Amino acid sequence: MLGNRRHTRIGWAIVFSIFLLGGLYAAALSKAPAPAVPSASASASLSPLPGHADAQKEVLQRLRREHFRTIACDDALASKLLDRYLEDLDPARSFLLQSDIDEFAPYRTSLDEALQAADLEPAFSIFNRFQQRRIERLEAVIGRLRAGTADMDFTRDEEIEAERTDAPWIQSPAELEQLWEKRLKLSVLNLLLAGTDPEAAREQLLKRFANQLRLVQQTNSEDAFQIYMNSLTRCYDPHTQYFSPRTSENFNISMRLSLEGIGAVLSGEDEYTKVVSLVPGGPADKSKLLAPADRIIGVGQGADAELQDVVGWRLDDVVELIRGPKGTVVRLEVLPAGVEDMHKTRKIAIERSTVTLEDQAARKTVLPVERGGRTYRIGIIALPTFYLDFQALQAGDPGYKSTSKDVDRLLKELTGEHIDGLVLDLRDNGGGSLQEAVDLSGKFLRYGPVVQVRNARRDIEVMRDSDHRSSYDGPLLVVVNRLSASASEIVAGVLQDYGRAVIFGSQTFGKGTVQSLVPLAHGQLKATMAAFYRVSGDSTQYRGIIPDIAYPSLVDPAEIGESALADALPWDTIDAVAFPRCSDLTAAIVRLNSLHARRMQHDPDYRYLVRLEQHLRSLSARKSVSLSRARREREQAEVERARLDIENQLRAAKHLPLFENYAEIEKERVSDNETSAPDALVAEAAHILIDALTAPDRDRITGYCSLTGGALLPGRFAETIRAQAGTP
């Protein structure tokens, strides 16, 4: 189905980590027969349950007292809340009529009074109207499918909007009927283009909409209350969420240390279940079959199980299907991010497993690079997440695992292997322990502040590295991408501010806020309580970290990242804190960028990424979709020819056999994200380090920090620096 793919619908879409225990419910569903088509019936009106009014009052009080963003409960909030609620209920504007919106207009200046009085009648009145419209429309679609689809004309050159978020509300039932006829035609056409015969396509869609109607008719007052509360929390920021008692249980399961599943963080977006991120070291991450922004449209239990269509399902019901015990297999039908056409789905199978700290641990390699008749040895430390074994630490186990301890050990090993420079790879690292981020930064700094944390009362805490020791003082480059977030941004930011490292890659996620889980009498509230700031005073929120040297990314920032989320807190600044700057790398960065750009003119991997990025962006920019089968087939052939040309240019440059057709690309295809070719990025990172090492002014550009933190000292290893300074 259609809708806006650029905005996460927090009302319906509480984000879950699919590392959930159990699986009995999923197994039971997999054995259940296909649901019968529900008979047409009117929807019973829902009303608030006992405890909802008190819960709403408590949520509002907590938000007003403790949230980082201060918002007055006035007409402005009422208007914004109404807009968010309507967006969360009907994001594609395909159920409600303009007459409904007009009827709700008085709430634009009265929802604030209703909030303060804990009056939920307006919320349930809107929800019940939406339920009525949904059931009417689904029953009409089911009736249309029962009558058959043989009369659908796929020769007409007509189109349907690709996104309707900003479209005007439907004016009349007749106009709504026309829209849904086009939507249904698109669904049928997608299946036909995928090779499904007409009758099988009709049966599959009949089952899909019957399932949707069944789920709609099972919607209860708790669901309605949660959606409304999340429309309220979304007025504050996208990371503040209300969890109903059932959702709280799922969330708490996902946060336990022993987690089983596929390792994907999911959200609901319009009628799809969307992959937000992958848990480092998890089954999905290891498989390379799933990527952020992919959409899951079918789920099956077992390697050969029949796939169950989950388009239009509630997120928590999809969660129940995907989760399961270790060792079992879940099949998924996926619409990949950046897919050339909406019918180009992929079927994958992932074995559920338990992620351990070992799966997420830092790891090292040494990359030899030939340059000017010499072999340089570049150390690489890949860090998937910031981890800390809290249980072992609390038990007093001296062998507890942590990011900083593991990296310290790896740095000693790499120093013993006589590396010439170090690459710290923080790509796809979504964060983790804040203290570990501070401790890790200290491995590359002698002392000084690392990050500022400002709370809702505007009090500022400065977290520091104060041991006057570092584990590595040599040339350092940090690699980041759009999926580097939170703690990763703290580390990259402080090393950039100190002039200690060159930052290479793409703009990071921009997650610069801190959330706390607040228990309520009815459910839980996850609220944004604080924000991170760099030592320079710049926020890491929204903008993230801007690399010193850029590299193209296939992750679309309009799809993934803080700036892609509605109502994200803005970037801002506070006063800088005094810190011992290692060096000013401004001039060095200019030179390194020039050398990098010259090298990239002839680099096949770089040119491939640029071409592929442009290709995918042009596809995502399309405003409409054709309902003509012949035109869609022509467009698809053109897109496939363009993609084949891009792939074969890369293969020709690398002296590899060329693909004969697009089907061969599909056969070898992996997830379209920048980790598809990690060696190219790491190899260029190594060359940038060598550029720094071989520069005439290497003492000013390699980033060494002195014991006093004021100037750079030459030398290859930490031991050399310490010897020059006369320290043990």
252 assigned to some structural domain? no
Which pTM was predicted? 0.84
11 assigned to some structural domain? no
Q: From residue 363, how far is each of 426, 475, 718 by CA, in Å? A: 12, 19, 20
Average pLDDT of every residue of the chain? 85
Whether 511 is catalytic is: yes
Contact by Cβ (8 Å): 565, 238: yes
**Encoded tokens for 320:** 């129940």
* Per-residue pLDDT, 708: 35
Among 80, 274, 401, 511, the active-site one is 511
What domain range includes position 115? 21-238
CATH number of the structural domain spanning residue 369: 3.90.226.10
Alpha-carbon dihedral 525, 526, 530, 534, rounded to 10 degrees: -170
Neighbour count for residue 642 (Cβ, 10 Å):
18
Tens digits of residue pLDDT in 339-357: 656 667 888 999 988 776 6
- Give me the half-sphere count of Cα atoms (radius 13 Å) on the Cβ side of residue 697: 11
Q: Which residue has the tokens 């056969």?
A: 667
Residues of the chain with pLDDT under 70: 1-43, 248-260, 338-343, 356-357, 669-678, 697-728
* Per-residue pLDDT, 151: 95
* Per-residue pLDDT, 451: 98
* Per-residue pLDDT, 251: 57
* Per-residue pLDDT, 146: 96
3 assigned to some structural domain? no
Whether 497 is catalytic is: yes
Domain end call among 218, 238, 258: 238
Cβ partners under 8 Å of residue 345, min gap 6? 194, 297, 298, 333, 334, 335, 336, 339
Tens digits of residue pLDDT in 663-698: 888 777 644 444 344 489 999 999 999 999 988 765
Among 309, 439, 465, 497, the active-site one is 497
* Per-residue pLDDT, 250: 58
472 assigned to some structural domain? yes
* Per-residue pLDDT, 43: 55
565 assigned to some structural domain? yes
Cβ partners under 8 Å of residue 689, min gap 6? 376, 378, 420, 421, 422, 423, 475, 477, 502
* Total count of domains within the chain: 2
SS3 200: helix
340 assigned to some structural domain? no
Q: From residue 278, how far is each of 281, 361, 448 by CA, in Å? A: 9, 15, 33
Domain end call among 238, 268, 283: 238
Whether 623 is catalytic is: no
146 assigned to some structural domain? yes
Tens digits of residue pLDDT in 547-600: 999 999 988 898 889 999 999 999 999 999 999 988 889 999 999 999 999 999
Among 244, 353, 484, 486, the active-site one is 486
308 assigned to some structural domain? no
Tell me, yes or no, whether 373 and 234 share the same domain: no
* Per-residue pLDDT, 669: 64
* Per-residue pLDDT, 249: 62
* Per-residue pLDDT, 698: 53
Distance of CA 191 to the CA centre of its chain: 28
Domain end call among 238, 272, 302: 238
* Per-residue pLDDT, 709: 36
